[in-house]
């Protein structure tokens, strides 16, 4: 049985008109005689709205109930899609994650799929039906509903593709594919024909919302090729695949950026072995993700300034944890919310010297001050003032000829 998995994102199913278009796309795929499995996200805005309701009810809303509520958006869109397919004469029904079932492990709000039970869906496919499966949700070993982190319908589609050994996994979204940078932010962004899992993982982890980072990890581990394309216009999109399938003529593949980082500096920290661990231990215990870190030793070696970045939403909690941490002594704490991390990503930088220098030079030419730097084998990130994001991304885009 040749199976194709089609995933539709929030904007693609964002209105009744859009759902009618989606039904048309599905019916075109049915004509190819392949068996079609559809995975849908919630209609645009619905998940955000449900999340804000939890906040209005309680600042301590139980994660297990959060998952029940927030996964409800997918139930609505799947029923609407099947309803429309039925309307145009196609046999279809919605499948909620627990009906498949799709099993997950890990904490609520950030679970991961560990198994997809195939028999019921296979039987339904053989009967000529088109299953419309809820993305983003699963069920755990306590028989509770779970969700897969924001953007998690991508992971649902990829894991369903893996378990059904799908010939293709197509992620339909509101842009034509993966671009060198966010095409809704930088007008010279260029569509990328093929990108490696490694680069896509870095791009999305560093801010490119087009694919969920965890879903790319799943795709890489399971060697699932992904086609990303638009549900609005029928044009070739982007193939996310293994590095070997890609010619190596690019130094930099893309530029990503974040808009919701904060920088915290502890000034005059009394320096002793283990001090950094003492600072970060309570943060890690409270699931606060610390990103970039720099430590400056003062001239007498007794005191140090320690700077790190976290997400804006964690600032309040972080400040509280630091202020009540008896294991550390420092003079003052500085918090800046107006920072942004801009990163260049590309496997080509492994073999090309001088990339760091070119990045810094391009930013300097535009009078953009670098506050913190971090690098890995295939990416260089800098922290800058948020007001300079556009200038920085444009400068880097130009420096590495990404608009060509």
Residue whose Cβ sits closest to ligand ADP: 9
Which CA distances in Å does 381 have to 159, 198, 256, 372?
30, 16, 9, 8
CB nearer to ligand ASP: pick between 25 and 293: 25
Cα distance between residue 229 and residue 25, in whole Å:
12
Question: What is the footprint of Mg ion within residues 5-24 (CB under 5 A)?
Answer: 9
> Helices marked H in 63-169 — which ranges?
63-70, 72-87, 119-126, 153-163
Q: Which is nearer to ligand ASP, 69 or 267 (CB)?
A: 69
List the one residue from 4, 5, 10, 275 that touches ligand ASP (CB under 6 A).
10
Residue 43 backbone phi and psi in degrees, to 5: -60, 140
Q: How far is the CB of 10 from ligand ADP (least distance, A)?
A: 4
Give the residue nearest to ligand ASP (CB): 153
State yes or no: residue 151 binds Mg ion (CB under 5 A). Answer: yes
Minimum Å gap between C-beta 357 and ligand ADP is: 24
Q: What's the chain's Rg over C-alpha atoms?
A: 23
Task: Give the nearer residue to ligand ASP in terms of CB position, either 50 or 293.
Answer: 50
- Contact of residue 184 among ligand ADP, Mg ion, ligand ASP, none (CB under 5-8 Å per partner type): ligand ADP
Decide: helix, strand or coil at residue 207.
coil
> Which residues in the 20-79 window bind ligand ASP by CB under 6 A?
41-42, 47, 73
Rounded least distance, CB 192 to Mg ion, Å? 17
Is 138 a binder of Mg ion (CB under 5 A)?
no
Q: How far is the CB of 209 from ligand ASP (least distance, A)?
A: 10
Handedness of CA 394, 396, 401, 404 (dihedral sign): negative
DSSP state of 167: S
Three-class SS state of 287: coil
- Torsion-angle region of 390 (φ positive above 0: left; ψ -120 to 50: alpha; else: beta): alpha
Give the span between the Cα atoms of 90 and 259, in whole angstroms: 43
The answer to whether 308 touches 290, Cβ cutoff 8 Å, is: yes
Whether the bond between 170 and the residue before it is cis, its omega within 30 degrees of 0, is no
Distance in angstroms (rounded) separating the CA atoms of residues 75 and 71 = 7
42 binds, among ligand ASP, Mg ion, ligand ADP, none (CB under 5 to 8 A by kind): ligand ASP
With CA atoms as reference, report the closest residue to 174 among 73, 72, 24, 41.
41
47 binds, among ligand ADP, ligand ASP, Mg ion, none (CB under 5 to 8 A by kind): ligand ASP
Nearest to ligand ADP of 137, 304 (CB atom)? 137
Number of residues that bind Mg ion (CB under 5 A): 2
4 neighbors 166 (Cβ within 8 angstroms):
yes
Indicate the pairing of strand 168-173 with strand 3-8.
parallel
* Choice between 5 and 342, CB closer to ligand ASP: 5
Residue 174 touches which member of Mg ion, ligand ADP, ligand ASP, none, C-beta under 5-8 Å by kind: ligand ADP
Residue 387, judged by CB atoms within 10 A of its CB (0-12, 13-18, 19+), counts as exposed
Compute the least distance from the CB of residue 173 to Mg ion, in Å.
7
Binding site for ligand ADP (CB under 6 A): 9-12, 41, 151, 173-175, 178-179, 181-184, 203, 208-210, 254
Residue closer to Mg ion by CB (options 9, 14) is 9
Q: Give the SS3 label for residue 354.
A: coil
State which of positions 111-170 bind ligand ASP (CB under 6 A). 135-136, 150-154
Residue 207 interacts with Mg ion (CB under 5 A): yes or no: no
What are the residues binding Mg ion (CB under 5 A)? 9, 151
What are the residues binding ligand ASP (CB under 6 A)? 9-10, 41-42, 47, 73, 135-136, 150-154
């Amino acid at each position: 049985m040749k199976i194709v998995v089609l995933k539709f994102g929030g904007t693609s199913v964002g209105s009744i008109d859009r759902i009618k278009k989606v039904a048309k796309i599905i019916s075109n795929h049915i004509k190819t005689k392949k068996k079609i499995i559809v995975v849908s996200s919630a209609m645009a805005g619905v998940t955000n709205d449900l999340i804000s309701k939890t906040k209005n009810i309680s600042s301590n809303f139980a994660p297990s109930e959060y998952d029940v509520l927030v996964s409800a958006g997918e139930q609505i869109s799947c029923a609407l899609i099947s309803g429309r397919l039925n309307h145009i004469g196609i046999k279809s029904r919605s499948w909620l994650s627990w009906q498949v079932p799709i099993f997950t492990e890990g904490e609520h709000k950030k679970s991961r799929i560990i198994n997809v039970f195939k028999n019921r869906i296979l039987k339904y496919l053989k009967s000529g039906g088109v299953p419309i499966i809820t993305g983003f949700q699963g069920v755990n070993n306590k028989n509770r509903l779970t969700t897969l982190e924001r953007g998690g319908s991508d992971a649902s589609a990829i894991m369903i593709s893996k378990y059904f050994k799908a010939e293709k996994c197509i992620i339909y979204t509101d842009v034509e594919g993966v671009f060198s940078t966010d095409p809704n932010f930088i007008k010279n962004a260029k569509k990328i024909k093929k990108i490696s899992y490694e680069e896509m993982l870095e791009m999305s982890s560093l801010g490119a919302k087009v694919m969920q980072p965890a879903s790319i990890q799943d795709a890489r581990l399971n060697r699932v090729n992904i086609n990303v394309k638009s549900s609005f216009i029928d044009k070739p999109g982007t193939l996310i695949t293994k590095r070997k399938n890609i010619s190596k003529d690019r130094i930099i593949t893309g530029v990503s950026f974040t808009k919701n980082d904060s920088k915290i500096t502890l000034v005059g920290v009394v320096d002793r072995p283990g001090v950094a661990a003492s600072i970060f231990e309570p943060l890690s215990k409270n699931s606060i993700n610390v990103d970039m870190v720099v430590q400056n030793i003062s001239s007498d070696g007794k005191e140090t300034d320690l700077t790190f970045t976290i997400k804006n939403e964690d600032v309040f909690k972080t400040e509280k944890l630091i202020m009540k941490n008896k294991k550390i002594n420092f003079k003052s704490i500085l918090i800046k919310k107006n920072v942004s991390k801009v990163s260049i990503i590309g496997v080509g930088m492994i073999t090309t010297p001088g990339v760091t220098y070119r990045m810094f030079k391009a930013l300097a030419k535009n009078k953009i001050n670098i506050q913190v730097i971090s690098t890995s084998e295939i990416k260089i990130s800098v922290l800058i003032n948020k007001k300079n994001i556009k200038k920085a991304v444009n400068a880097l885009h130009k420096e590495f000829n990404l608009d060509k």
